[in-house]
C-alpha cells in the first residue's frame, strides 16, 4: 500500500505541462461557435420561424409543431455540419450534476436501411426512461415515465466527446407525466417568471416603459485540484470526494502565500484549456486566480440571465471534469475536501435587471432612482428576513455541513451585510418621523433622499464573513456550497423576493387609494420593512463566536444540522409561499425534501463505510505491522541489556496499541449505529440518526488515525498525506 503512495507521488512529480494551443488568435473568432445561438438561428431559420422562436424565448410562449420541425431541421443541419452524430436532451436531475442520454440522428428502417431522423417532436420532447433518477415518490418507479422538454431560452450546444464526435445537447426540463417537476430547471423557470411579473408590476411606479425584469447571476466557482495519481491513491477521495483522514501539514494556509499568488504552469494550462472550451460554448468565464488554501482555485464568469447562468455553471463543472483528465488532474468541487483548511463555495452574485438595461440594485445619484434602489433593496432584505430558514434549507447538504461555520466560511446563521453607509441612510430615514409636505416642497428633499451614499467599494467588499452580502450593486449569497446546483438557492431567493414584491405592491396600492402621496407611502412602507427586518442585518465579523451568541439573542436561527435545515422546506410558511407563487406545489416540496434527505443519508453512509474500511484495513493493519517491528527492536535491545534504551519504544508501542484499540471500538460502534439507522423506516429520523449518532464517530476515529499518522514510519504510511496532495502540482 505504502508502495502505491510513493508510486503515485513519483508519477505526480514527473508530470509535464501539456501545451494548449489557442483555437484562434481572437476569442471573438470562436466564442459561442458551439452554440445554436441567435446569430445562427437568424441565418438558418425563415424570418417567421425566427420571430416565433425569439418570442418564445422572451415570453415563454409555446412553439407550435411546424415551427419546431423547422427549428429541428436547422439545428440538425447546423450540428451535423460541425461533426455531431447524436443528440440529447440535457437536464439537471435532483441527484446533482447533469444528465444526458444520447440518441443517434439516424434511425434504421425495418428493411435495415439507415435514414436520417430528427423531427420537431424529438426536439420538443424526449422520454429518457429515467426510472432511476430520484423522484421522491412523485413518479412510481414501475411507471418510469418522466419526460424531458426543450427549454428554448437556453441555447442548444455541442458537446465534444473527444475522439467520438460531438453530441447536440438540448437544454431541457425534466417532469413527470402528471406535470410535476423532477429537476432544478422547471421550478427555476417558474420562479423567474413570477419574479418578472412582480418586479415589473413594482416598476410601474418608477418607470412605465419597463416590460420585463430578469434576474441575473454570476456564480464564482471555487475548487481544488489534485493530481490524478494521488487522487486514486486516496480511496476516500474516490468514494466520497473528501478526505476522511489526514493530519494537517506543517504548512497550511497560515502564510496566505497562495492567495492571488502566481498560478503554477500545469494548473495554468488546465485553466487555459477549459476556458477555451467554455468560450466555444459561450460560457463567459473571465477571471481565474489562486484561492486561500493551497491547491485551491477559483474561476468566475461575467453575470448573465439567471437561467442561462445556472446552465452554464452546471456545464462548466462538467467541462472542468473532462478537461482535467487531459491534464492528469481531478477537480474537487466538494465543500470541504480537506479538514483544517478552507472549503469551497460557489458565491451566487444576484441582481435584477430591466429590459431597459437598469440594474435594480445599482445605487444612483438621482433621488428618484435612489428611492427605486431602496425599494428593491429593502424588499430583498425583508424577503430574506421573513424566509431566512427556507434560504438556509436551500443550501443544506452533507458536504456544506462540514463547511458552514468552519474555517473561513459563513456560519449557518443567515444574516445580511449592507455596509455602514446604507445602514446610516436607513437609520436616517427611520428616525425622520412623519413628513409633512407643504405646497412647493421637494418630496425627496423632505424625505432626506438625495442620492445613494457613495458606497466605498472596499467597504462593501471587505466584509467577506457575511453569508448574504450587498456588494455594491448586487447581493452575493456566499453560503452556497461548491458542488451545489445554484438553482437550489436561486429557486428560493427569486420566489421569496417575487412574493415580497407582490406584498409591497398590494400595500402601496392600498395606500395610494387612500390618497397618500406615492413617495411618502413608499418610504413609509420601507421604514416598516427596515424596522421589521433589522435583526437580520449584521455588519460585524460573521466568523466570530460573539456573533453566534448575538444572533441567538436576536432570535435568529442557527441550524447546523442538514436534516434539520432541510426540515424547513416543509414548514407551513415555506410550503405556502412556494405554492402560492406557483413554483412548487406541496407534493413537489415534499418530494424535494425527501430526495435531499436521501441524498444526505447516502453520502453520510458512504463516508461512514469508507472511514471503517480505511481505518481497519489501511491504518490499523499498518499500525500493527509497525508495532511488530518496534517490538522486535525493543526485544533485541532488551537482549543486549539496553533496558533504558528500549523504554521509548515500549511507550510508543503502548500508545499505538491504545489508539488502535479506540479506533477498533469506535468503528464497531459506528457500524452498530449505522445498522440502527438503517432499520429506521422513517426517513427524517434516519437522516437525523446518520447526522448525529453515525457522524459522531467520524471525528473520534479521525483524531486517533491522524495521531497514528504522526507516530508511524513515513515509509509505511499507506495514505497519501495532506502535504503531498496539496503541494504537489
Ligand atoms: P468581486 O470580485 O468584488 O466579488 P465582481 O464585480 O468581480 O466582484 O463580481 C463578481 C461576480 O459578480 C462576477 O461573476 C460578476 O459578473 C458578478 N456580477 C457583477 N454584477 C452583477 C449583477 N448585476 N448581477 C449579477 N451578478 C453580477
Ligand atoms: Mg465574491
Residue by residue, DSSP assigns 24-62 as SSSGGGTTTTTB--HHHHHHHS-HHHHHHHHHHHHH---
Is residue 613 classed exposed, middle or buried when 0-12, 13-18 and 19+ CB atoms within 10 A define those classes?
middle
Range name among 89-98, 138-147, 210-219, 696-705 with the lowest pLDDT average: 138-147
CA 170 – CA 100 distance, rounded (Å) = 9
> What integer pLDDT is reported at residue 142 of this predicted model?
38
Grid cell in block for residue 235: 480511496
Q: State if residue 31 touches ligand 1 by the CB under 6 angstroms criterion.
A: no
Q: Do you know the residue count of the chain?
A: 729
Whether residue 227 has pLDDT greater than 70: yes
* pLDDT band, very low/low/confident/very high, at 293 (cuts 50, 70, 90): confident
SS3 90: strand
> What integer pLDDT is reported at residue 1 of this predicted model?
56
Place of cell 427605486: 372
Summarize the confidence of residues 718-729 as an average pLDDT.
Answer: 89
Answer yes or no: are the C-beta atoms of 61 and 94 closer than 8 Å: no
Instruction: Encode pLDDT of 188-199 as tens digits.
Output: 999 999 999 999
> What integer pLDDT is reported at residue 117 of this predicted model?
78
The mean pLDDT of the chain is: 91
Q: State if residue 301 touches ligand 1 by the CB under 6 angstroms criterion.
A: yes
- Cα of 401 from ligand 1 centre, angstroms: 26
Instruction: Encode pLDDT of 581-628 as tens digits.
Output: 999 999 999 999 999 999 999 999 999 999 999 999 999 999 999 999
Instruction: Encode pLDDT of 361-374 as tens digits.
Output: 999 889 999 999 99
Q: Percent of the chain at pLDDT above 70?
A: 94
Grid cell in block for residue 415: 444574516
- Cα of 47 from ligand 1 centre, angstroms: 36
Give, for ligand 1, the residue of 213, 215, 300, 359 to mutate: max count of ligand atoms closer than 8 Å to Cβ: 300
Instruction: Encode pLDDT of 33-42 as tens digits.
Output: 999 999 999 9
Range name among 107-116, 288-297, 530-539, 626-635 with the lowest pLDDT average: 107-116
> What integer pLDDT is reported at residue 429 of this predicted model?
87
**Ligand 1 atom closest to residue 347's alpha carbon, by position in its atom list:** 11
Summarize the confidence of residues 550-567 as an average pLDDT.
Answer: 96
Q: Which of 143-152, 433-442, 481-490 has the highest mean pLDDT?
A: 481-490
- Cα of 473 from ligand 1 centre, angstroms: 8
Fold (CATH) for 2-16+28-192: Ubiquitin-like (UB roll) (3.10.20)
> What integer pLDDT is reported at residue 259 of this predicted model?
64
State the pairing for strand pair 416-417/304-305: unpaired
Summarize the confidence of residues 661-684 as an average pLDDT.
Answer: 97
Q: Which ligand is nearest to the CA of 362?
A: 1
Whether residue 477 has pLDDT greater than 50: yes
Same fold, 2-16+28-192 and 204-584: no
- Cα of 304 from ligand 1 centre, angstroms: 10
* pLDDT band, very low/low/confident/very high, at 64 (cuts 50, 70, 90): confident
> What integer pLDDT is reported at residue 145 of this predicted model?
61
> Could you tell me which of 352, 334, 354 has the C-alpha nearest to residue 344?
334
CA distances from 76 to 82, 106, 169, 308 (A): 10, 11, 11, 22
Whether residue 387 has pLDDT greater than 50: yes
- Cα of 303 from ligand 1 centre, angstroms: 6
> What integer pLDDT is reported at residue 154 of this predicted model?
93
CA 169 – CA 597 distance, rounded (Å) = 30
> What integer pLDDT is reported at residue 252 of this predicted model?
67
Range name among 181-185, 460-464, 654-658 with the lowest pLDDT average: 460-464
> Could you tell me which of 537, 499, 493 has the C-alpha nearest to residue 217?
493
Summarize the confidence of residues 94-114 as an average pLDDT.
Answer: 81
ipTM of the complex: 0.96
User: What helix, strand, coil percent values describe the chain, rounded to 5?
Assistant: 50, 15, 35
The residues facing 104 across adjacent strands are 86
Q: What angle do CA 556, 562, 563 make, to 5 degrees?
A: 105
Helices (H), 640-728: 643-678, 683-689, 696-711, 722-727
Q: Which ligand is nearest to the CA of 361?
A: 1
**Ligand 1 atom closest to residue 473's alpha carbon, by position in its atom list:** 23
Q: What's the CATH number for 599-727?
A: 1.20.120.1560
Q: State if residue 471 touches ligand 1 by the CB under 6 angstroms criterion.
A: yes
Q: State if residue 473 touches ligand 1 by the CB under 6 angstroms criterion.
A: yes
Whether residue 341 has pLDDT greater than 50: yes
Grid cell in block for residue 157: 450546444
Q: What's the CATH number for 204-584?
A: 3.30.590.10
- Cα of 186 from ligand 2 centre, angstroms: 27
Q: Where are the domains of the chain?
A: 2-16+28-192, 204-584, 599-727
Summarize the confidence of residues 404-413 as an average pLDDT.
Answer: 80
Summarize the confidence of residues 302-317 as an average pLDDT.
Answer: 97
**Ligand 1 atom closest to residue 457's alpha carbon, by position in its atom list:** 3
Residues with CB under 5 Å of ion ligand 2 are 347
> What integer pLDDT is reported at residue 74 of this predicted model?
94
State the pairing for strand pair 296-301/416-417: unpaired
> What integer pLDDT is reported at residue 141 of this predicted model?
41
Helix (H) and strand (E) counts for the chain? 27, 17
Amino acid at each position: 500500500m505504502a508502495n502505491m503512495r510513493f508510486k503515485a507521488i513519483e508519477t505526480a512529480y514527473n508530470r509535464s505541462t501539456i501545451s494548449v494551443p489557442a483555437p484562434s488568435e481572437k476569442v471573438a473568432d470562436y466564442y459561442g461557435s458551439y452554440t445554436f445561438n441567435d446569430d445562427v438561428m437568424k441565418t438558418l431559420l425563415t424570418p417567421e420561424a425566427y420571430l416565433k422562436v425569439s418570442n418564445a424565448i422572451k415570453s415563454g410562449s409555446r412553439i407550435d409543431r411546424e415551427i419546431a420541425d423547422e427549428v429541428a431541421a436547422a439545428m440538425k443541419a447546423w450540428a451535423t455540419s460541425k461533426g455531431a452524430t447524436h443528440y440529447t436532451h440535457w437536464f439537471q436531475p435532483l441527484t446533482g450534476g447533469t444528465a444526458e442520454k444520447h440518441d443517434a440522428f439516424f434511425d434504421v428502417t425495418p428493411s435495415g436501411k439507415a435514414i436520417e431522423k430528427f423531427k420537431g417532436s424529438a426536439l420538443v420532447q424526449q422520454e429518457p426512461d429515467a426510472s432511476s433518477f430520484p423522484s421522491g415518490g412523485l413518479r412510481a418507479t414501475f411507471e418510469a415515465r418522466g419526460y424531458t422538454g426543450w427549454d428554448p431560452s437556453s441555447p442548444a450546444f455541442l458537446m465534444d466527446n473527444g475522439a467520438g464526435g460531438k453530441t447536440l445537447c438540448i437544454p431541457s426540463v425534466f417532469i413527470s407525466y402528471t406535470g410535476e417537476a423532477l429537476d432544478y430547471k422547471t421550478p427555476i423557470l417558474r420562479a423567474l417568471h413570477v419574479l418578472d411579473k412582480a418586479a415589473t408590476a413594482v416598476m410601474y411606479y418608477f418607470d412605465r416603459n419597463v416590460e420585463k425584469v430578469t434576474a441575473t447571476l454570476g456564480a464564482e466557482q471555487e475548487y481544488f485540484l489534485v493530481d490524478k495519481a494521488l487522487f486514486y491513491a486516496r480511496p476516500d477521495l474516490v468514494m466520497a470526494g473528501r478526505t476522511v483522514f489526514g493530519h494537517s501539514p506543517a504548512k497550511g494556509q497560515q502564510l496566505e502565500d497562495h492567495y492571488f499568488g502566481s498560478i503554477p504552469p500545469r494548473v495554468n494550462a488546465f485553466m487555459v484549456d477549459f476556458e477555451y472550451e467554455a468560450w466555444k460554448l459561450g460560457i463567459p468565464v473571465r477571471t481565474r486566480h489562486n484561492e486561500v488554501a493551497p491547491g485551491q482555485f477559483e474561476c468566475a464568469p461575467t453575470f448573465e440571465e439567471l437561467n442561462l447562468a445556472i446552465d452554464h455553471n452546471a456545464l462548466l463543472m462538467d467541462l472542468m471534469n473532462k478537461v482535467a483528465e487531459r491534464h492528469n488532474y481531478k477537480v474537487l468541487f466538494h465543500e470541504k475536501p480537506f479538514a483544517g483548511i478552507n472549503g469551497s463555495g460557489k458565491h451566487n452574485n444576484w441582481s435584477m435587471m430591466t429590459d431597459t438595461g437598469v440594474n435594480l440594485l445599482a445605487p444612483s445619484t438621482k433621488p428618484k432612482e435612489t428611492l427605486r434602489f431602496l425599494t428593491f433593496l429593502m424588499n430583498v432584505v425583508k424577503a430574506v428576513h421573513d424566509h431566512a430558514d427556507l434560504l438556509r434549507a436551500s443550501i443544506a447538504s452533507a458536504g456544506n455541513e462540514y463547511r458552514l461555520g468552519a474555517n473561513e466560511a459563513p456560519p449557518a446563521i443567515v444574516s445580511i451585510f449592507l455596509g455602514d453607509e446604507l445602514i446610516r441612510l436607513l437609520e436616517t430615514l427611520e428616525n425622520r418621523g412623519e413628513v409633512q409636505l407643504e405646497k412647493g416642497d421637494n418630496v425627496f428633499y423632505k424625505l432626506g433622499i438625495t442620492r445613494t451614499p457613495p458606497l466605498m467599494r472596499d467597504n462593501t467588499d471587505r466584509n467577506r464573513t457575511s453569508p448574504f452580502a450587498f456588494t455594491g450593486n448586487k447581493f452575493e449569497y456566499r453560503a452556497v456550497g461548491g458542488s451545489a446546483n445554484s438553482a437550489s438557492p436561486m429557486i428560493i431567493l427569486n420566489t421569496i423576493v417575487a412574493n415580497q414584491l407582490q406584498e409591497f405592491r398590494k400595500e402601496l396600492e392600498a395606500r395610494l387609494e387612500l390618497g397618500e402621496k406615492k413617495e411618502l407611502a413608499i418610504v413609509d412602507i420601507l421604514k416598516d420593512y427596515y424596522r421589521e427586518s433589522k435583526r437580520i442585518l449584521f455588519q460585524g465579523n460573521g466568523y466570530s463566536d460573539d456573533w453566534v451568541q448575538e444572533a441567538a439573542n436576536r432570535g435568529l436561527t442557527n441550524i447546523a444540522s442538514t436534516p434539520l435545515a432541510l426540515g424547513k422546506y416543509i414548514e407551513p410558511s415555506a410550503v405556502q409561499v412556494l405554492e402560492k407563487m406557483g413554483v412548487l406545489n406541496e407534493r413537489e416540496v415534499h418530494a424535494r425534501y425527501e430526495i435531499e434527505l436521501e441524498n444526505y443519508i447516502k453520502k453520510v453512509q458512504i463516508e461512514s463505510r469508507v472511514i471503517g474500511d480505511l481505518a481497519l484495513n489501511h491504518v490499523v493493519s499498518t499500525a500493527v505491522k509497525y508495532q511488530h517491528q518496534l517490538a522486535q527492536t525493543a526485544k533485541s535491545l532488551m537482549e543486549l541489556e539496553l533496558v533504558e534504551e528500549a523504554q521509548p519504544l515500549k511507550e510508543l508501542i503502548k500508545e499505538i496499541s491504545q489508539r488502535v484499540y479506540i479506533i477498533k471500538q469506535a468503528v464497531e460502534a459506528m457500524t452498530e449505529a449505522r445498522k440502527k439507522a438503517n432499520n429506521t423506516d422513517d426517513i427524517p429520523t434516519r437522516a437525523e440518526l446518520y447526522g448525529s449518532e453515525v457522524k459522531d464517530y467520524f471525528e473520534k476515529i479521525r483524531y486517533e488515525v491522524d495521531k497514528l499518522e504522526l507516530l508511524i514510519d513515513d515509509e509505511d504510511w499507506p495514505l497519501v498525506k495532506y502535504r503531498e496532495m496539496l503541494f504537489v502540482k
